[in-house]
Structure 1
Amino acid sequence: MPPHTPTGRRTATASVTAIALALPLLVAVPARAEGCSVDQRELANCNLIVRTPGTGGGGGGTGGSGNSGPTLPPPPEGLTPEQAQGVVPVPGVDPPAAAPPATADLLAMAKAATRFPEVVVHTAPKDKTFVGLRTSLWVEGFDDVETKPISIGAQTVQLTAEPKFVSWDLGEKKDFICQDAGSEDGKTCNYTFKRSSAAEPGGAYEITATIVWDVAWTCVGVDCDTGGATLPQNPIQSEPTPLTVGEIQTNTGQ
């Protein structure tokens, strides 16, 4: 066995040193999060930034900002981002919002919600009058009609109706027009019968009154297809009311 020489020991020592210096280049050491000041012995105690090729990273390098998903739109005024989740559509994720309903659909709802008053007939004298006697005529129900506003999205529809006149069917006289509801004193609406009702079934005229309303609707808001329009007049007829018309008998004497 050859004797050990100092030169041989220096050669072996140099080889070991070279291998030790190369080891850090062969072992991948995870990167530390910014601000982590511990050395390699304490790496396990740091929050690591794991970088995968192609995903970029938070700041630095050429990886950009990374794949952060779709950009969220700002929340509506009065809502936090958390409250806006599921309300504000996310581009590329949520389906597009449904189109606002047509104004005609809201108008149909307003029509369905409209309730006109019942028309009730009154006369004075009541139930029975006489030929040649002025008979007062009036109705209940001669009132303005207005629906509650119906709002969906950025449009509000409302329907209104105004009574214009009353058309009376008095048995011996049809389409007798009064321009208002009339009253018990008969100043604005009255009729004087010319013949008795004795020949009518039951001995009475079956009189009716029909109130005719002018109807219109309006739409307010940016989603409105139009601002409104008039609708056909709406007639509402009363139930038939019997009215006996008699004749006053006079004794002329001889």
Structure 2
Amino acid sequence: MIQFVGAGPGAEDLITVRGQKLLMEADIVVYAGSLVNPKLLDMCKETCEIFNSAYMTLEEVLEVLIHGEREGKHVVRLHTGDPCLYGAIKEQMDALDAEGISYEVCPGVSSFCGAASALKAEYTLPGISQSVVITRMAGRTPVPDSESIRSFAVHQATMVIFLSTGMLGELSKELIAGGYPEDTPAAIVYKATWPEEEVHHCEVRTLKETAEKYGIRKTALIVVGSILNGDYRRSELYNPAFTTEFRQGKAE
């Protein structure tokens, strides 16, 4: 059994209890060294073999996983955040399926949740936005035309944009072309939940200038939307006049 484990957004104590247990039991760990906090590896036992996938190809990663599993060892593939987002795990799972090797996925806290925590923000505010678009700019990995930043911007929903810190000038243009006013609140969250976390508020039109001012070139999430400006309607759930399954509303 191979375990794909979400390492969480950065802080070493934000891995799940299950993920921590699997790390402590592992004989082999292959971790995404470009993003995973290396302090998490301190949980591993001294005899654990550790491989940094930042220097490996898919084929090399699979060779370690498959060889370890066939030797009867506990194998953990440690991904940043939650593996379901930009984790490139589907190709690994398909290869394991082809080899008849079983695996499980242990979810983790995504960095987009860590960014909300850093911002002290709620992505889904009544009367403002009830949807969250998680996406990225097209780069070396293309994005379908139907999922362009411009097409998503039409909806005016909260957007959390991954893997785009090096393209902020173009990102601003696409957001504005899609319908966001130039002064729409935005934020750059660098290394959310890490000790070196930085939060910089700005507007859609000033994303590039803000990143340049603070020397941010990678490892940041971009949050866009009116949920950042403080205006919203109170939730009905806790309104005294609102009846729920558990509480009878009272007329004012």
Question: Same fold per TM (> 0.5)?
Answer: no
Give TM-score, length-normalised by structure 1. Answer: 0.19
Bigger proportion of residues as strand: 1
Give TM-score, length-normalised by structure 2. Answer: 0.19
Which structure would you say has the larger Rg? 1
Higher RCO (Cα < 8 Å, 6 or more apart): 2
